[in-house]
Structure 1
Amino acid sequence: MASLRNDDHPATKIAQALGDIEPITKSVTPPLYPASTYQRDPDNQYRNGRVYARPHNPTFETAERLLTALEGGAASLLFSSGMAAATATFLALKPGDHVVAPEVMYWGLRNWLKGAATEWGLAFSFVDATDTQAFARALAPGRTKLVWLETPTNPTWGISDIAAIAKLAHDAGARVAVDSTVATPILTRPIELGADLVMHSGTKYLNGHSDLIAGTLTTAREDEYWERIKAVRSNVGAILGTFEAWLLQRGMRTLHLRVERASQSALKIAQHFAHHPLVAEVLYPGLPEFPGHALAARQMTGGFGGMLSIRTKGGEAAAVAVAAETRLWKRATSLGGVESLIEHRRSVEGPTSPVPHDLLRLSVGIEHADDLIADMEQALAIAHR
């Protein structure tokens, strides 16, 4: 029985995992249920509501209910990865359907959309995510079925106007799905701004400890499209492991603390390097000079996130050299963990990437910001000798 109320602060809901107490042992920690199957009733029915662990796993339910409460949605689903969650939204469409998506976005999904999803029969228009009118021009009323947003966009951190684009999309008969991995429900709640779906790579901030792969979807309503997404998850088998689901809900219980700390440090780091003699540009929505700052200030509450990018003077060679000389910033792919990461994105994404050659993506962890600044200072100095 949950002990929390609807009006309790999100931080309280997160910390207490909605306040549930395990009924048999009275454990304050949500249990792990490893069972893969469930016994039928004597008349061959399943009145307990669970048939098989692929579509019905009680270990999923704590994280799904918690995420639903945080996002202000109607229901949530866990997936085996962020890509599994994202692709399920497209596989639930029908061949011939048209989708509008940002040109700059998570590169793995962009490549899948331009490759396998296009070959499967979906049609795409890719636009500037920060240009609301570009979305308006790309929408084809009656044909466009989904608008996919990612805000802030990875790795240039452009901001999309969720409310304005949602209104345009709905007027054209399309749904809106938002990849809110970077913002997290602590900083942005897309459903309140008009979105129909919210996606997270649970691998990142929701888990926060770089020790699992997971994805999530939250819906504003349980409609026919949501039922198709549920069927895709079950039929394709894009199911998270039981232990990983338990780890995910455990990580989510400190989400607000980690996001707040990372956001505070990222702002301090961005401000420090914004006019640095060895840095050409800092990309971070929290800087007043950033093009999307005013919109981010309205749309994001409590901070601007823990992700920023710096463009180094000296081009690609200097950027790669800086990453090679850091001590605390770890050279690794991913984001949202307690440890700070640095990555030269163009090397990862390849020659078709729209990312500048001199860009370094920084995922700020929960270390002391002064130590991270000092480490970047010494790396820049060595790289520019």
Structure 2
Amino acid sequence: MTDTAHLPPSGLDHADINPKSQQIAVAGQWRLFWLKFLKHRLAVASLVVVLFLYLVALLADFIAPYDPNATNARFTYAPPQALGLFLDGGFAPHVDGLEMTLNTESMRREFSSDPENPVRIGLFVPTQPYALFGVIPMDRKLIGPLEPGPRASMFLFGADRLGRDIFSRVVHGSRISLSIGLVGVAVSLVLGVLIGGVSGYFGGVVDTVIQRVIEFLRSIPTIPLWMGLAAAIPVSWPPLQTYFVITVIVSLIGWTSLAREVRGKFLSLRNEDFVTAARLDGMSELGIITNHLVPSFMSHIIATLTLAIPTMILAETALSFLGIGLQPPIVSWGTLLQEAQNIRAVAQAPWLLFVPGTAIVLAVLSLNFLGDGLRDAADPYEQQS
């Protein structure tokens, strides 16, 4: 008797079955999500950029060669110094020294390159003691002059009106600007899923009231609302408290769009068979929401939140640029732009606007492309090939 238990169906040979198709056929929701995301090359590249930016923000104290508020009157408005790799026929990272002269006609300092006095640069150079993450004692920086001194300048992105290193300030500013997006999105996630879930799951009068509140909030012009609330922050408040309030302000409107999307998902899923089975099994309403409904479209929530982070970053930047958001000595990309909005800086030191502006554009575009890739991967109606 011939054993037919292991024969392929319909007379097909096992070699005719695509291994990739077999892998997709048995893959779970998150596996399918990841396979579809990997096909979006621009989104994968953006993910690498985003991870790099957040790594820089996390290790800002170690990466920045100088204290962001350290001044040097000798190098006010010093131009960016190009990094050289070879010196005297050998590998020796360095920047050319800067020679300052006073223009008696314009009464301005003018800098010129001084290749005769190069400033050698090294990795893991000794520096003043500091605390990494506020707790780990450190006395090394990732990069810096090998022989620090008052004349040993290393301004890769130039210096500002007080001689502060723009590279160090942009690196430290990434910590505030990028983290405010994460914190703001976390607040929006809690409010959006909670309020939108209640609205879509229970419906009726509860749904009507919540939707009218959301429509009222969305009808208010965003920028004037942020400006009004930010202007009410007392100047005497400490920086940490100001940072927290600004985060709450930029999250005030962000949760409404997520709440409406969650509501729509709940309306389409609340009468599905798995919800009815859970209810007949005695599970509470809160358990059904948290254990069944929300996980069923968590990938879509992640994509939506990723697209919301750039909005939070731009909101903080706009408020700080207008002078009603974060204030010095807090260093963020928005405050760096605000400090550069004067005629002298634009005419004499355009890098003060260009460098933080480039960082903002890079972060926002990367997060937008990443969000597009996550959104496409979370689309259940797109065919997996």
Give the alignment's TM-score, normalised by structure 2: 0.26
Compute the TM-score of the two structures, normalised by the length of structure 1.
0.26
**Relative contact order (C-alpha < 8 Å, sep 6+): which is higher?**
2
